[in-house]
Amino acid sequence: MDKTLFLTGHGCSGTYLKRTGKRDGDKCQHCGDKDDLDHIVLKCPRYSEQSKDLPWHSITGEQMIAQMLQNTHSWEKIKELVKDIPSTKKRQTKE
């Protein structure tokens, strides 16, 4: 469930929490940038170690989705990346 919510932008991102009134701002608690799915997966230093091996590390979110849909290898890479991020983001939200 957490992965689905995360990938659809309905998880613990700052933009979602702000939109739903659970937080005043949409900034990343780690680096201060706008905290949305693109930021978490592609840009945030907090997750850079996990995302550095992705074949699309420096592309946009839309390009990432297209890449994911092209082959199983890409799909598995992103699936592994988001496996632990939702629970980590949820813990950060509670702190």
| Tens digit of each residue's pLDDT (9 = 90 or more) over 31-57 | 999 998 888 877 888 877 766 666 665
Round the average pLDDT of the chain to a whole number and report it.
77
Cβ-based burial of 29 (10 A; exposed 0-12, middle 13-18, buried ≥19): middle
Say how far apart CA 66 and CA 43 lie, in whole Å.
18
pLDDT reported for residue 34: 94
Tell me, what's the pLDDT at 1? 43
**12, 92 in Cβ contact below 8 A?**
yes
Between 14 and 59, the higher pLDDT residue: 14
pLDDT beyond 80 at 92: no
Domain ranges within the chain, ordered by starting residue: 2-89
pTM, to two decimals: 0.66
Q: Is the pLDDT of residue 28 over 80?
A: yes
Share of the chain above pLDDT 70, in %: 66
pLDDT at 7: 66
